[in-house]
Amino acid sequence: MGAARKWLVIAVPYLWLLVFFLVPFFIVFKISFSTTALSIPPYTPVFEFTEGVAGLVDKARQLTLDNYLWLTQDPLYLRSYLSSVWIAFVSTLLTLLIGYPLAYGMARASRSLRPLLVMLVILPFWTSFLIRVYAWIGILRREGLLNQLLTWLGVIDAPLTIINTNTAVYIGIVYSYLPFMVLPLYAALERMDESLIEAAQDLGCTRLQAFWKITFPLSLPGVVAGSMLVFIPAVGEFVIPDLLGGSETLMIGKTLWVEFFSNRDWPVASAVASILLLILVVPIVLFQHQQSRQSEDGR
């Protein structure tokens, strides 16, 4: 009975991944080898499981990489990938710079105050994501609250143009994904033994030296986890660049939307999505492999 429970615990997450990740991915991957057609859905299926094994083998021999080759011929897709990775990287770095002090302050607060601080961090999740992004339009536009405040304080003479720029996209991503950075960092910092800092100071380290030699290295798992949780969804973000960005804001999420719903070119859009998934999954797998090797070496 115990063995059956063990296998059940292991099988449930794998079944979840199979149903909600692998199956949808293979459907999209299959569409990427199709050709566009004036039909519903707007492509000619490559594989038809009703054809039997012999039919599937014959179709597999006829597969072409035309849709993937098309992505290399049009610079729009390469620029979309590079722009998305860059925007996601900068946003992740800004989120880390803002989130680390917040998490550090939460971890050093009194134990009775920590639950309240955690609740304040996750409080924005109680409001619709779309509504929160829409709110930034009213804040960042030329007649918005931010320009009114800066003008009233005498900081600026003319309204700033922030909305419909990459700056607005950075602000929207950092605001939206800040809790995903703060919570893993807080979990890592809250578990840290404070006596290590006291021991380092007794041995002659300043508070800054103790931070860089002890606190920050011990919080690296939280840094990596938070960075992954911010970077991965930010690369494929669509809502924020669509609402806050301008015509010059180029991200792969917007490109996918155009290919799927405007151009109705599902095969090319599926190829774009497949490559995007590989860009995100391969570094994660390599990182987990490296972490496993380090754990084995530590033993």
| Biggest CA-to-CA distance, the chain | 76
CB burial readout 163-191, b (16+ within 10 A) else e: bbbbebbbbbbbbbbbbbbbbbbbbbbbe
Q: Are 277 and 32 in contact (CB under 8 A)?
A: no
Predicted pLDDT of residue 84:
93
Q: Are 242 and 257 in contact (CB under 8 A)?
A: yes
Predicted pLDDT of residue 91:
96
CATH code for the domain of 270: 1.10.3720.10
- Is 135 a domain residue? yes
- Is 265 a domain residue? yes
Q: How far apart are the first and last CA of the chain?
A: 31
Structural domain boundaries enclosing 280: 73-297
pTM metric for this prediction: 0.86
- Is 45 a domain residue? no
- Is 134 a domain residue? yes
Total count of domains within the chain: 1
φ/ψ region of 264 (left if φ > 0, alpha if ψ in -120 to 50, else beta) reads: left
Predicted pLDDT of residue 49:
58
Q: Mean pLDDT by 10-residue block, N- to C-terminus, for the chain (299 residues)?
A: 74 85 86 81 71 56 77 89 94 96 92 92 89 92 90 88 92 95 93 83 82 89 90 91 87 88 86 88 73 63
Predicted pLDDT of residue 54:
55
- Is 10 a domain residue? no
- Is 222 a domain residue? yes
